[in-house]
Amino acid sequence: MFVDVAKIWIKAGKGGDGAVAFHREKYVNAGGPDGGDGGRGGDIIFKADRNLNTLMDFRYKRKYVAENGKNGGTNQCTGAGAPPLIIKVPFGTLIKDAETGLLIKDLSDDQPFIAARGGNGGWGNQHFATPTRQIPRFAKPGQPGEEFHIQLELKLIADVGLIGFPNVGKSTFLSVVSSARPKIANYHFTTMTPNLGVVDYFGNGYVIADIPGIIEGAAGGAGLGTAFLRHVERCRMLLHLVDVAGTEGRDPIEDFEIINRELQSYSPTLAALPQIVVANKCDAVYDEEMKERFIAHVEAKGYPVFCISAATKNGLEPLLGKTGELLETLPKTKVFEAEYVKPAVPSEKDKAFTVRKENRTFIVEGEWLFKILDTVHFDDYESMNFFQRVLQSNGIIDKLEELGIQEGDPVQIGDLEFDYIR
Ligand SMILES: Nc1nc2c(ncn2[C@@H]2O[C@H](COP(=O)(O)OP(=O)(O)OP(=O)(O)O)[C@@H](O)[C@H]2O)c(=O)[nH]1
Ligand SMILES: [Mg+2]
């Protein structure tokens, strides 16, 4: 089964906690603090892999969690960092923020991409010793790893997109110009999943993508809909195949116009790509006039048109040559620009806070403050002192006083509630 979209959840590892430990040695009493730092949590890394061509695996496994860093140890021992979790995806996979749909990364090269960063390890108590605080009984916990709900979306990478009604011979064409062997049959929607083929062009190759046929109303969901058009969205040009023999009793001019309308309603950018029109099944034409009318129609609209027969391989050379020539003048395959911006993590410097009074309680709020709060051990005198100094040195005490706080008034900071003591 071909799967080209998937929603998954990724979570990088948490950093290991810093250790609280004191140096122990025979004949040495009251050694200094020597608790080591926690190791970094594992990152979540995406890497494009040429051997993959579907997002099928992500149907069955939707949670990807990297390992946590190890906690710090005694004797200044730093905990081990966790290895990254590497997720392999096909070339051309887009990573989007699941909620907003904004593009985080277009994975269309070999470069690994760190999608979620592991948390830093916490500092061990060895860092918190000062001349006046010689026995720090606290250490910092590791930071959490980043986590995201993301949508993966495959947009194949090809130079040329083959578009047209079902049964016009797109797959037959691909099979005679490349070594690809797509299924070919005389019914609609033989092709249910995209096929890629490489055309040899003076030693260089260009890649053609054959996608399922499009019918009238496809943009509204008719037939297989237009979802597959995403696989020709990065193409540099299109080959628009039309059955000029009218083997199914349709008029080629009408077919041509319908497809262009469907393209337009799916994406004006896609519809504006350079198009070469390929009049196929010329071997089976019995109404020469219909064919001539068709050629005159598309030429009048400014499109180059080539008459071929994919079945008898007639007329292929000039078409493939022209396609190669045109490609030389066109920009490279599109790489989509990232749109998503990670919400800024409040930096140490950005110490904004608010204080408000509700009934008698003074409520202090500030993301950074909540983070520090997480690291405080309230049963430890030194640790409490440290927190009090944070409140003092950042002007929070001043602000409380300014708002008229009195001895014994309740103060609430996150989950912590205490009575104010001057
Ligand atoms: N006479 C004639 N028949 C052709 C030619 N090219 C393809 N056919 C036939 O047309 C039918 C459809 O061919 P496919 O290549 O499967 O068509 P398609 O456009 O890929 O069709 P879908 O995958 O269903 O969209 C098959 O029976 C082919 O043998 C041609 O040049 N001349
Ligand atoms: Mg086909």
Contacts of 312 (CB under 8 A, 6+ apart): 283
**CATH 2.70.210.12 residue window(s) in the chain:** 1-154
Segment 126-164, tens digit of pLDDT: 888 777 767 777 788 898 999 999 999 999 889 999 999
Angle at 213 between CA 272 and CA 284, to 5 degrees: 100
Give the list of residues 6+ apart from residue 199 with CB closer than 8 angstroms, or none.
177, 178, 205, 206, 207, 208, 320, 323, 324
Selection from 279, 187, 201, 269 nearest residue 233 by Cα: 269
Per-residue pLDDT of 161-184, as tens digits, reads 999 999 999 999 999 999 999 999
Check whether 30 has a pLDDT greater than 70.
Answer: no
Pocket around ligand 1: residues whose beta carbon is below 6 Å from it?
A: 166-172, 184-186, 188-191, 212-213, 280-281, 283-284, 309-311
Centroid of ligand 2 to alpha carbon of 292 (angstroms): 26
Q: Classify residue 76 by its DSSP letter.
A: T
Looking at the predicted structure, is the pLDDT value of residue 349 above 60? no
Per-residue pLDDT at 415 = 82
Q: Worst-scoring range by mean pLDDT, 95-109, 288-302, 394-408?
A: 394-408
Given the CA of residue 186, which atom of ligand 1 is nearest to it? Answer: 27
State the distance from the centre of ligand 1 to the C-alpha of 171, rounded, in angstroms: 7
CA nearest ligand 1 atom 26, residue: 186
User: Please, are residues 115 and 105 in contact by the beta-carbon 8 Å criterion?
Assistant: yes
Percent of the chain scoring above 90 in pLDDT:
60
Please give the pLDDT value at position 100. Answer: 92
E strand segments, 108-146: 113-116
The per-residue pLDDT for 127 is 85
Q: From ligand 1's centre to the CA of 30, what distance in Å? A: 87
What distance in angstroms lies between residue 173's CA and the mean position of ligand 1's atoms?
A: 8
Torsion of CA 98, 103, 105, 109, to 10 degrees: 120
Task: Look at 162 and 191; give whichever has higher pLDDT.
Answer: 162
Is residue 346's pLDDT more than 70?
Answer: no
Q: What residue ranges of the chain are covered by domains with CATH 3.40.50.300?
A: 160-329
Q: Which ligand is nearest to the CA of 173?
A: 1
The pLDDT of residue 51:
86
Domain 354-419 has CATH 3.30.300.350: yes
In this structure, the residue with its CA closest to atom 21 of ligand 1 is 167
Q: Which strands form 160-163's sheet, in the order they lie side by side?
A: 195-201, 204-210, 160-163, 237-243, 275-280, 305-307
Per-residue tokens: 33: 């603090």
pLDDT at 418 (0 to 100): 86
**Superfamily grouping for domain 1-154:** GTP1/OBG domain (2.70.210.12)
Q: What is the mean pLDDT of residues 241-261?
A: 95
Query: What CATH class has 160-329?
Result: alpha beta
Q: State how far Cα 201 lies from the chain centre.
A: 33
Query: Of 278, 331, 316, which is closest to residue 200 (Cα–Cα)?
Result: 316
Q: Look up residue 342 and give its DSSP letter.
A: P
Q: What's the 174 CA to ligand 2 centre distance in angstroms?
A: 9
How many angstroms is it from 205 CA to the middle of ligand 1?
24
Q: Give the residue-averaged pLDDT of 239-252.
A: 94
Nearest ligand, measured from the Cα of 308: 1
pLDDT of residue 1: 66
Ligand 2 being an ion, which residues bring their Cβ within 5 A of it? 170-171, 190-191
Q: pTM for this structure?
A: 0.75
Mutate to test the pocket of ligand 1, among 167, 208, 291 (most ligand atoms within 8 A of CB): 167
Mean pLDDT of the chain: 90
Query: What is the location of CATH 3.30.300.350 in the chain?
Result: 354-419
